[in-house]
Amino acid sequence: MFQGNLKGKDLITTQEWSFEDLESVLKLAGDMKKNPKNFSSTLQGKSLIMLFFNPSTRTRLSFEIGMTQLGGHAVYMDAEKAWIGKGSESIKDTASVMARYGDAISIRIFPNITDWQYGKSNEVVREFARWADIPVINMECDLFHPCQALADILTIKEKMGNLRGKKFVLSWAYHPRPLPVSVPNSALLIATRFGLDVTLLHPKGFELDEQIMSWARSNCEANGCNLEVSHNMEEAYRDADIVYVKAWGSLKYYGKPEEEKELRVNFRNWICNEDLMDLTNKNSIFMHCLPIRRNVEATDGVVDGPHSIIYDEAENRLHVQKAILSLVM
Ligand code: CP
């Protein structure tokens, strides 16, 4: 039984929430999924201000519809149409004013690949949290995507039941341009929090940040699970229970996409295909946060195939976010 109080708490990374906090989100998300009508006035009269510096399909829809289903209201703000996005108002002033109007703020921000500085967008989210005396929810920055991670672990629990001893392969995939590491960072952290045996699979040069790896190793020590790094697709896929595919950029070349391209073009063959999925366990699942480049990151045969649970995963964004909103607002 959850004893904690999450009212007013920011969600910037799942790593900063206790296991009990995370479990309380999953438990409530499950209840909300089963009986949505029981929660139709949970956030009556409350407003969420959603500030987007980047495009989105799932995040915007699931937060906005989630607020409606809870009896509240969501305000969509395109940062480009606000003074903050034009660079003419400070974070302090924007956040402080938002806090006078709304009951929570959610933010999506990651920079253009040409002016990428690792951790810079996360600092913006933290600066909002510093000045707003209402909860701030990270809808994806350059380091973390906590709502995606919670939807992912809810989906894995639904499909797998007991996670002990299950092999989770987090695989890099080719993509024509470098993408943020927020999803792989977050997937690695949540999987090790929940005791999955993780194989992090990527070509040399696409290592994740040492701080994230260190947290993941600590999670494993605390939870009695394993973390290994592999550069061999066949070996990693063999006997996998969960395959999570995602493209990400090389941290060595952040902000230098042309130089990074020289490295990444060597790995066009890093695509998840049916032959690789045949190496996995019979009831294995294929996951991707979406949007996916079909036939680049994974073949249509995999994306639409028997292992794929990508739409269940996307649906669970709605349920976990409704739970998060209800607990923090
Ligand atoms: N997975 C995810 O965050 O999707 P969107 O970019 O469409 O919001």
Nearest ligand 1 atom to alpha carbon 108: 8
Per-residue DSSP letters for 56-99? -SHHHHHHHHHHHHTT-EEEEEEGGGSTTTTT-S-HHHHHHHHH
Q: How high is the pLDDT of residue 4? A: 62
**DSSP secondary structure of 41-62:** TTTTT-EEEEEESS--SHHHHH
Same domain for 247 and 296? Answer: yes
Please identify, by atom number, the ligand 1 atom nearest to the C-alpha of residue 59: 8
* Ligand 1 center to 221 CA (angstroms): 31
69 and 36 Cβ atoms separated by less than 8 Å: yes
In a domain, 172, yes or no: yes
Same domain, residue pair 204 and 77 = no
Distance 219 CA to ligand 1 centre (A): 26
Angle at 158 between CA 155 and CA 164, to 5 degrees: 95
pLDDT computed for residue 112 by the predictor: 77
CATH number of domain containing 24:
3.40.50.1370
Same domain, 179 and 293: yes
- Residue 240 located in a structural domain: yes
Q: Are 215 and 95 in a shared domain?
A: no
In a domain, 53, yes or no: yes
- Omega prior to 111 cis, within 30 of 0: no
pLDDT in tens, the chain (329 residues): 455 699 999 999 999 999 999 999 999 999 999 999 999 999 999 999 999 999 999 999 999 999 999 999 999 999 999 999 999 999 999 999 999 999 999 999 998 777 788 999 999 999 999 999 999 999 999 999 999 999 999 999 999 999 999 999 999 999 999 999 999 999 999 999 999 999 999 999 999 999 999 999 999 999 999 999 999 999 999 999 999 999 999 999 988 989 999 999 999 999 999 999 999 999 999 999 999 999 999 999 999 999 999 999 999 999 999 999 999 99
- Sheet containing strand 167-172, strands side by side: 227-230, 197-201, 167-172, 242-246, 285-287
Does 66 share its domain with 157?
Answer: no
Flag whether 3 is in a domain: no
Q: What is the amino acid identity at position 41?
A: S
Q: Give yes or no: residues 130 and 204 share one domain.
A: no
Q: If you measure from the C-alpha of residue 314 to the centroid of ligand 1, how many angstroms do you get, rounded to a whole number?
A: 9
Backbone dihedral angles phi then psi of residue 228, each to the nearest 5 degrees: -130, 155
Amino acid of residue 79: A
Atom of ligand 1 nearest to the CA of 290: 1
Give the DSSP letter of residue 280: S
Residue 5 counted as domain residue: no
CA atoms within 13 A on the CB side of 91: 14
Q: Which of 48, 42, 46, 10 is nearest to 135 (CA)?
A: 10
Q: Is the CB of 56 under 6 A from ligand 1?
A: yes
* Atom 6 of ligand 1, residue of closest alpha carbon: 56
Residue whose CA is closest, atom 3 of ligand 1? Answer: 59
What is the reported pLDDT for 114?
Answer: 74
Q: Is residue 2 part of a domain?
A: no
228 forms beta bridges with 199
- Rounded distance from Cα 282 to ligand 1 centre (Å): 29
Q: Is 213 in the pocket of ligand 1 (CB under 6 A)?
A: no
Shared domain for 201 and 53, answered yes or no, is no
In a shared domain, residues 251 and 208 = yes
The CA 55 to ligand 1 mean position distance, Å, reads 8
Q: Report pLDDT for 111.
A: 83
310 lies in the same domain as 321: no
Same domain, 184 and 273: yes
Question: Domain limits at 62?
Answer: 14-144+317-328
Tally of structural domains, the chain: 2
Q: Are residues 70 and 138 in the same domain?
A: yes
For residue 145, give the ligand 1 atom closest to its CA: 3
CB of residue 62 inside a 6 A radius of ligand 1: no
Q: Is 289 in the pocket of ligand 1 (CB under 6 A)?
A: yes
Burial 304-313 (b: 16+ CB within 10 A, else e): eeebbbbeeb
DSSP H or E run through 218: helix 210-223
